[in-house]
Amino acid sequence: MNRGMTAKGMATRHRIVVAAALLIREKGAGETTLDDVRAATSTSKSQLFHYFPDGRIDMLVAVARHEADQVLEAQRPYLDDLTTWESWQAWCGAVLRHYGELGRRCPLGSLTFELGKSSSEARTVVSDLFAMWEAALLRGTGSLLPDRGMAVGCARSVLAAVQGGVVLLRMTDRIDYLEAALAAAIEPMRPAAPTS
């Protein structure tokens, strides 16, 4: 999509995507119209269709890609080096702070509740996000757990803990579910206490 686009054009498109993402987080994908996005970004209909030729579907896929990037970026730099118990604790702290600040307006919730259902292309974006995320977590679990099957199971438990915790956070405004789920999911990687 960005081929042949000027820097100004890329910046305008990005501004539209960010505004649409924020609207979708607040109102939901089903309730966010192209007219809402136009009003929020002060863009004309022709300008919107210039950047998103297939209209709403193109825009929703672009927003899904943007939100998927936001999910991973919020976990960095911790996600890139989960090779120690301390790095897992730091990652958990970053995840809890991030979702605690965003609450119901988190990109993960928007992706899984709204955007992932909007088209097959958006579902692919969501599937790719979870595959990349699981791979990053598996690098970390694999460095701390000797058994490959246990490492895979632990990485998937961590991913499910975040997803489930975010669902409960969106429904209850309580972060303690996410906190408890993460603590339980990473427990297998806790170093054994030294014996005296």
pLDDT digits (tens, 9 = 90+) for 176-192: 999 999 999 999 999 98
Residue 68 falls in which region: left (phi positive, over 0), alpha (psi -120 to 50) or beta: alpha
**For range 117-121, the mean pLDDT:** 77
Question: Which helix (DSSP H) or strand (DSSP E) does residue 177 occupy?
Answer: helix 176-186
For the segment 10-30, what is each residue's pLDDT rounded down to a tens digit? 898 999 999 998 888 888 777
7-65 and 67-189 share one fold:
no
Backbone angles phi, psi at 192, to 5 degrees: -65, 140
Q: Quote the pTM value.
A: 0.83
Rounded-to-integer distance, Cα 69 and Cα 96, Å: 18
**Which CATH number is 7-65's, of 1.10.10, 3.40.120, 1.20.120, 1.20.950?**
1.10.10
* pLDDT the model gives residue 54: 86
- Give residue for tokens 């609450």: 103
**For range 92-120, the mean pLDDT:** 78
Q: Note the Cα 65 to chain centre separation in Å.
A: 10
The residue extents of the domains of the chain are 7-65, 67-189
The class that CATH gives domain 67-189 is mainly alpha
